[in-house]
Amino acid sequence: MKTLINTAIIAAFMFVVSVPFVAAQDEMRKGELFAGYACQRTSNDYPEFLADEGANLRNGNGFNVAGTYNFTRYLGAKGEFGWVRGSKSIEGFDLKMTETSFMGGIQVKDNKVEGSKMRPFAHVLMGMNRVTVPGVFGKGGPLDGGFGGGAPEDVSKTKFTMAIGGGIDYRVSDRMSIRAIQVDYKPTFTGDDFIETMTGLRFSFGIVIN
């Protein structure tokens, strides 16, 4: 009987303690999905002759999509896919640089259901970036001794990248917010002879569903 009473007391205590915790968890957003436009300014080490020809590939446009699962009111696990491209046509030759990134990390944000419509956030993401640089660097390109009778080949490398930044969301309805601005510092460590390290500053805005 004593054991039964002790068990009942412990069970009652756990129930009383857990109710506020469960209620608090129910009051927070479980997750969110972001999709929006991205503009990226990349600082890199292109050879001088490209700049002389007006081949400015440092400004890229594209998009990024991210999903976040919130495991506490303030912390969430985040995954992101991003794509940007810069292009320039010179004497009929189309120069392009493309970045495709897959990253994951942690987001800090107040995920409480009720509260301010203005929700700032910050995140640190890490992953891989696939960088494709113009064919002038590849086989058959000018740096390979000319076009060699065929189309020059682009060079692609997949390297480690990061995104460190944050922004502000503004809630417009119960399930939707406008991401007014997101700014990320985005370095990619390529180890390439021509572009050893690319550092990017990315600006994004779009829609958040939660």
> Structure tokens of 159?
């390297």
* Nearest in space to 118 (alpha carbons), one of 180, 178, 183, 169: 169
Q: How many CA atoms lie within 13 A of 168 on its CB side?
A: 6
Q: In whole angstroms, give the CA distance from residue 24 to residue 32.
A: 18
Q: Tell me the pLDDT tens digit for each residue of 43-63.
A: 765 444 455 555 566 788 999
Residue 20, pLDDT score: 43
Res. 38: pLDDT tops 60: yes
Beta strands 118-133; 75-90: pairing state: unpaired
Q: End-to-end alpha-carbon separation of the chain, Å?
A: 50
> Structure tokens of 8?
């009942």
What does R_g of the chain's alpha carbons equal in angstroms? 24
Q: Model's pTM, two decimal places?
A: 0.73
Q: In whole angstroms, give the CA distance from residue 205 to residue 207.
A: 7
Residue 196, pLDDT score: 61
* Nearest in space to 34 (alpha carbons), one of 99, 129, 128, 125: 125
**Segment among 23-27, 153-157, 166-170 with least mean pLDDT:** 23-27
- Band of the pLDDT at 96, cuts 50, 70, 90? confident
Amino acid of residue 83: W
